[in-house]
């Protein structure tokens, strides 16, 4: 087994996301009960990175509040591309000779499992760089993976710079990489802005490695949603729907009945016991724990609460509360910390 190097995570979290039309950076809009940026950062930490460095720019204080002490921070005052972002982190990496796990902070489907698989593949192949890719029927806005006749990766071409032939390539770049820091960091000084967007592309490092006959590997993602970023309200709604549907499916497999899953909203942080029935227009949020044999809904919202076995809730709001086994709440009640709201 190849020697296991130390891994540092680099979260690219400087973009504001103007298409969100929001006073808040896209990184802190919530998906499945937590800020977008926390999903990937928590995944990296669970996968075993020794530290996470978040590159922040627009609304940096918001990102820092979302991540707290789980990350270190460097500023990218001007957003001049992904390569420029990694340049800002480079001073914190002086003397580091392990691997860099570089990922976008707006990609909520980057899980610990995804990162572990990518790191294992990188180590097994002893690569200088490993790219997480996806095969899409409609490649859309993503960078394309360009290969030679022998199948080796030659370069990544951004959509705006792609030729007609390159535009039709179905294998796309997820924006997630593992780099051998000792090999890749020195190459950053060779990046230029000779492209349509006038930015320092981190993807240009791949062609530099190919020219130097270094090993560049890819790992095709099992789940195409890993490439989904949250850049506008439509993508935010799509991400929330995917998380919700997957979590509800998991809960149903565990013995929970949902009368109408499409009309029920459940955060990924919520747990529900066997033989509980959840009726339509119910919203369960923020780490709520619901016991067995409960009847929840219709028209119920429960947030940050613990609901005992056999509880009945209809047409009610329950926040920051604990309900004992077998209890019930009168319809049209609003409980906050176990008391009726003022």
CATH number, domain containing residue 259: 2.160.10.10
Position 338 pLDDT exceeds 80: no
Residue 244 lies in a domain: no
> Rounded to the nearest 10 degrees, what angle do helices 112-125 and 36-46 cross at?
50
Residue 277 lies in a domain: yes
Residue 2 lies in a domain: no
Report which of residues 58 and 212 the model is more confident about.
Answer: 212
- Enclosing domain of residue 138: 7-227
Per-residue pLDDT, 160? 86
Catalytic residues: 19
Q: Are residues 328 and 201 in the same domain?
A: no
pTM score, whole prediction: 0.89
pLDDT in tens, 139-161: 888 999 999 999 999 999 988 88
Give the alpha-carbon dihedral of 242, 248, 254, 256, to 10 degrees.
-170
Q: Are residues 221 and 270 in the same domain?
A: no
Residue 96 lies in a domain: yes
Q: Residue 342's pLDDT band (boundaries 50, 70, 90)?
A: low
Q: Are residues 215 and 290 in the same domain?
A: no
**CA distances (Å), 319 to each of 227, 263, 304, 323, in order?**
35, 21, 6, 11
Q: Are residues 87 and 223 in the same domain?
A: yes
Residue 233 lies in a domain: no
pLDDT in tens, 271-300: 999 999 999 999 999 999 999 999 999 999
Mean pLDDT over each residue of the chain, to the nearest integer:
94
Per-residue pLDDT, 4? 66
Q: Are residues 67 and 205 in the same domain?
A: yes
Q: Are residues 20 and 88 in the same domain?
A: yes
Position 104 pLDDT exceeds 70: yes
The CATH number of residue 142's host domain is 3.90.550.10
Per-residue pLDDT, 331? 93
Per-residue pLDDT, 111? 95
Q: How many domains does the chain have?
A: 2
Residue 81 lies in a domain: yes
Position 248 pLDDT exceeds 90: yes
| Alpha carbons 271 and 290: distance in angstroms, whole number | 6
The residue-averaged pLDDT of 166-178 equals 95
Position 2 pLDDT exceeds 60: no
Helix, strand, or coil (residue 180): strand
Position 318 pLDDT exceeds 60: yes
Position 89 pLDDT exceeds 80: yes
Which residues, other chains included, contact 90 with Cβ-Cβ below 8 Å and sequence gap of 6+? Answer: 185, 188
Q: Are residues 140 and 274 in the same domain?
A: no
| Alpha carbons 60 and 75: distance in angstroms, whole number | 8
| Alpha carbons 91 and 104: distance in angstroms, whole number | 20
Q: Are residues 296 and 220 in the same domain?
A: no
The residue-averaged pLDDT of 32-44 equals 94
Considering only CA atoms, which of 130, 124, 146 is closest in space to residue 178? 130
Q: Are residues 147 and 267 in the same domain?
A: no
The residue-averaged pLDDT of 162-186 equals 94
Q: Are residues 86 and 45 in the same domain?
A: yes
Per-residue pLDDT, 26? 94
Residue 269 lies in a domain: yes
Q: Are residues 204 and 262 in the same domain?
A: no
Q: Determine the number of helices (DSSP H) and then strands (DSSP E) in the chain.
A: 8, 26
Position 76 pLDDT exceeds 60: yes
Q: Are residues 286 and 166 in the same domain?
A: no
Per-residue pLDDT, 240? 93
Position 93 pLDDT exceeds 70: yes
Q: Residue 1's pLDDT band (boundaries 50, 70, 90)?
A: very low
CA angle (118, 119, 121) in 5-degree steps: 65
Please, what is the end-to-end C-alpha distance for the chain in angstroms? 63
Residue 239 lies in a domain: no
């Amino acid at each position: 087994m190849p020697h296991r190097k130390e891994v540092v995570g680099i979260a690219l979290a400087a973009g504001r996301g103007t298409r969100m039309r929001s006073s808040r950076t896209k990184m802190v809009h919530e998906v499945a009960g937590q800020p977008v940026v926390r999903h990937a950062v928590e995944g990296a930490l669970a996968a075993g990175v020794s530290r996470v460095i978040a590159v922040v720019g627009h609304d940096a204080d918001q990102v820092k509040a979302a991540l707290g002490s789980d990350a270190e921070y460097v500023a990218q005052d001007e957003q001049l591309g992904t390569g420029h972002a990694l340049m800002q982190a480079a001073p914190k990496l002086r003397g580091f000779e392990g691997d860099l796990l570089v990922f976008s902070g707006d990609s909520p489907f980057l899980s610990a499992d995804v990162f572990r698989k990518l790191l294992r593949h990188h180590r097994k192949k002893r690569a200088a760089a490993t790219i997480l890719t996806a095969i899409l029927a409609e490649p859309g806005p993503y960078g394309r993976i360009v290969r030679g006749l022998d199948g080796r990766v030659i370069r990544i071409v951004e959509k705006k710079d792609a030729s007609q032939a390159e535009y039709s390539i179905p294998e796309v770049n997820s924006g997630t990489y593992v780099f051998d820091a000792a090999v890749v960091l020195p190459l950053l000084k060779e990046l230029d802005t000779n492209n349509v967007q006038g930015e320092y592309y981190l993807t240009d490092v791949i062609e530099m490695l190919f020219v130097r006959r270094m090993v560049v590997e890819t790992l095709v993602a099992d789940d195409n949603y890993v490439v989904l970023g949250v850049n506008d309200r439509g993508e935010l709604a799509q991400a929330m729907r995917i998380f919700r549907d997957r979590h509800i499916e998991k809960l149903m497999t565990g013995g929970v009945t949902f009368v109408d899953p499409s009309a029920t909203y459940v955060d990924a942080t919520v747990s529900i016991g066997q033989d509980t029935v959840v009726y339509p227009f119910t919203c369960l949020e923020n780490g709520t724990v619901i016991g067995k044999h409960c009847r929840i809904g219709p028209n119920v919202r429960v947030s940050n609460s613990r609901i005992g076995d056999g509880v009945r809730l209809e047409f009610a709001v329950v926040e920051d509360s604990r309900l004992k086994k077998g209890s019930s709440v009168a319809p049209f009640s609003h409980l906050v910390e176990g008391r009726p709201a003022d």
